[in-house]
Amino acid sequence: MSLSEPRAPKRRHTSTSQPSIAIIGAGLAGLRCADVLVQNGISVTIIEARDRIGGRVHQGELPGGRAVDLGPNWIHGTDDNPILDIAKQTNTAAGSLNSNVWVHDHLGGLMSQEDGEKYSAMVWDLVQQAFEHSNTHGAETHADKSLLDFVHERISDMIPESDAECAKKRGVLVRLVEMWGTFVGSPVSRQSLKYFWLEECLEGENLFCAGTYKKILHHIADPAVTGADLMLNSKVTKVTRQYQSSNKVKIELDSGRHLLFDEVVVTAPLGWLKRHPDAFNPRLPARLTEAISAIGYGCLEKVYITFPTAFWLVSMRMRGFIEWITPTYAPSNPHQWHQDAFELGSLPEPHNHPTLLFYTFGEQSKYMTSTLAKLTTQSQRTAFLVDFFQPYYSLLPNYSADSPDCKPLALLATEWLNDEFAGNGSYCNFQVGLEKGDEDIEVMRHGLPDQGIWFAGEHTAPFVALGTATGAYWSGEMVAKRIVDTYARLKQS
């Protein structure tokens, strides 16, 4: 897809051809934006509320000093992907992994690998059909129609009534489709079919970043933090455009300090924009406010559970993805939320470690993060997580409750839903009821350039990279190039 930009705006009158630019947020979008601007000799100040750079690109630590990503784990697509290029440049391990899928049914029984692979293939077939339908018939698809609705319509073609176990097989397939929620951070019953095409990523494989995003982040950040002024621990409370009838934009900080700039690039997460409409003075125009409100914001969370050894690999070699569909046997999960894990024991050396990475979304994420927020000690948090996840990892081969190899050494859970600076969530998505999803993205992407306000982030990315680290990177680059082009035209006039 072309990365062509909106036409350069008719610029408001300004007295300078070398502007001062503020970038709110030091995530991938803000850092890449700063890099491009600095390369073009423009003065840049990066204002970051946290005490660190990176935003959701951040690592936690497991026993033995093992770093794991708390934000993105994957590089989505290998076709002309700059994040993959940077991974190669920084010698960051990232690759396609064992795609085996091991499925436990609602009673906890392990399906044969053949059946697990068969059902998984059918899920991906349905997803691909949904992409094709959305691309071809999205315009006439009702806004309230969900991906789950589409699955119910198409399932009869995949499992006909003539099949002796039709009801059972259809039930398994419908339950397993719920795994798609881990890709978008919300249930398939809420996924818009009309705008499902916006969930498509770059062509090529999805690569797991076994070496973490740490070196990728540093590579992107180094030129930005070297060439720009970086203000950490600086929370923006108000952005006033055309301050005192001037061409300036005023930024107010929680410290009481205020700063004036010619342009401000807002890379705050979509969730933050949703929660802070009063941060803009005057308030954002109705169409822009509508766009921010219309696009969904996910709640994808992760839980790492690490053990002394990868006991599940000893005999059956249970590699890849592990699913526990609508479990009816776990008292800690009365809502029977689907469980989805990726085992890290079979990563290539030296990046393999005896850890299960669980992905959660939707109401389960809300329940878990709200519960963790109430627990005041690490022992309480650990006990809660063990109680919740033990019914699942206890079903893995070679598990024994008495074996020290099967007792977790540590559990590490993300809490983006409790994080104001992450927008209390993670990644944009497209939910039922959405009427003008592509236009909404374009409206946010365009911003208010005539008033010195620009937006960047994974929610303003090219359509093939929405909701990804690549998209965040591209969005910052795109805005920077637009600003550079604008001032180049002014200089020539």
Residues 6 or more apart whose CB falls under 8 angstroms from that of 126 comprise: 150, 151, 154, 155, 158, 173, 177
Q: 274 vs 111, 295, 360, CA distance in Å?
A: 43, 10, 22
Q: Give the pLDDT score at 13.
A: 46
Q: Give the pLDDT score at 11.
A: 46
Task: Give per-residue pLDDT as tens, 109-120.
Answer: 999 989 988 999
Q: Give the pLDDT score at 7.
A: 45
Report how far residue 364's alpha carbon sits from residue 333's, in angstroms, rounded to the nearest whole number: 9
Q: Give the pLDDT score at 148.
A: 97
pLDDT band, residue 2 (cuts 50/70/90): very low
Q: Select from 415, 414, 428 the least CA-distant residue to 268.
A: 428
Using an 8 Å Cβ cutoff, are 14 and 262 in contact?
yes
Task: Give per-residue pLDDT as tens, 206-256.
Answer: 999 999 999 999 999 999 999 999 999 999 999 999 888 788 999 999 999
Provide the 8-state DSSP code for 247: S
| Beta pairing class for 59-62 and 280-281 | unpaired
pLDDT score of 1 more than 50? no
Task: Give per-residue pLDDT as tens, 421-462.
Answer: 999 999 999 999 999 999 999 999 999 999 999 999 999 999
Output the average pLDDT for the chain: 94
Residues 6 or more apart whose CB falls under 8 angstroms from that of 145 comprise: 192, 193, 194, 432
Q: 3-state class of 438 per DSSP? A: helix
Exposed, middle or buried by CB within 10 Å (0-12, 13-18, 19+), for 375?
middle
Tracing tokens 């993105």 back to the chain, one arrives at 72
Q: 110 vs 114, 119, 345, 395, 418, CA distance in Å?
A: 11, 13, 20, 8, 35
Determine the longest span between alpha carbons in the chain, in angstroms. Answer: 78
Task: Give per-residue pLDDT as tens, 372-390.
Answer: 999 999 999 999 999 999 9
Type of residue at 135: N
Using an 8 Å Cβ cutoff, are 95 and 348 in contact?
yes
Report how far residue 359's alpha carbon sits from residue 113's, in angstroms, rounded to the nearest whole number: 21
Q: Which CATH architecture has domain 20-58+210-295+434-492?
A: 3-Layer(bba) Sandwich (3.50)
Q: 3-state class of 106 per DSSP? A: coil
Q: Where are the domains of the chain?
A: 20-58+210-295+434-492, 116-204
For residues 163-181, average pLDDT: 93
Residues 6 or more apart whose CB falls under 8 angstroms from that of 108 comprise: 324, 327, 329, 391, 395
DSSP string, 340-404: EEEE-TTSPTTS--SEEEEEE-HHHHHHHHHHHHH--SHHHHHHHHHHHHHHHHTTSTT--TT-G
Q: Give the pLDDT score at 16.
A: 55
Rounded to 10°, the helix 28-39/214-227 angle is 40
